[in-house]
């Protein structure tokens, strides 16, 4: 029967795609493990006390990148520069991994300023708002650091963030 023959071909395609996807997934597992190991080494090198667990860092960064349409590299680089991977980092009214300025962004938090998912998610949203103004990478970086009313570019901060981006990109 011709219809039976078409069904067989369809099953073969489905089986082929399943095997291909399974193969890709099985190859990805060691890469994820290597990525986690290298990232963990990097975090330990940059942070000595009160550091975030690497699995939580990865999940929070991936979640923030996904919901804010930015890269994981960008999110982790911001965390590296802003807090040095210290969960309860605090500096002049800015708190957490992304050093969100609480007086300016208090209404965006629901529960805990230090919750990694909430802090990184809100930090990602703030960064995305700066990025959406399309004034260039240096201005976007300065906007995140100084706030949306930024005039001028903080070249030192931009340089530090670029260096962190390059380091993180090599890891993942």
Q: What is the mean pLDDT of residues 97-116?
A: 77
* Token pair listed for 127: 């960064």
Q: Is the pLDDT of residue 119 over 60?
A: yes
Q: How confident is the model at residue 102 (pLDDT cuts 50, 70, 90)?
A: confident
Check residues 168 and 33 and name the one with the higher pLDDT: 168
Q: How confident is the model at residue 20 (pLDDT cuts 50, 70, 90)?
A: low
Q: What is the mean pLDDT of residues 66-85?
A: 96
The pLDDT of residue 67: 93
Q: pTM of this prediction? A: 0.75
pLDDT digits (tens, 9 = 90+) for 126-172: 999 989 987 789 999 998 888 777 677 889 999 999 999 999 999 88
């Amino acid at each position: 029967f011709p219809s039976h023959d078409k069904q067989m071909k369809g099953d073969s395609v489905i089986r082929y795609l399943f095997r291909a996807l399974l193969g890709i997934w099985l190859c990805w597992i060691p890469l994820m493990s290597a990525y986690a190991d290298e990232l963990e080494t990097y975090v330990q090198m940059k942070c000595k006390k009160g550091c975030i667990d690497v699995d939580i860092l990865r999940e929070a960064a991936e979640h923030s990148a996904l919901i804010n349409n930015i890269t994981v590299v960008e999110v982790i680089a911001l965390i590296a520069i802003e807090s040095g991977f210290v969960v309860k980092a605090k500096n002049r009214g800015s708190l957490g991994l992304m050093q969100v300025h609480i007086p300016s962004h208090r209404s965006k938090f629901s529960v805990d300023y230090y919750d990694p998912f909430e802090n990184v998610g809100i930090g990602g949203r703030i960064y995305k708002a700066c990025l959406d103004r399309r004034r260039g990478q240096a201005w976007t970086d300065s906007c995140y650091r100084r706030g949306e009313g930024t005039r001028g570019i903080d070249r030192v901060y931009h340089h530090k963030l670029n260096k962190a981006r390059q380091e993180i990109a090599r890891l993942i």
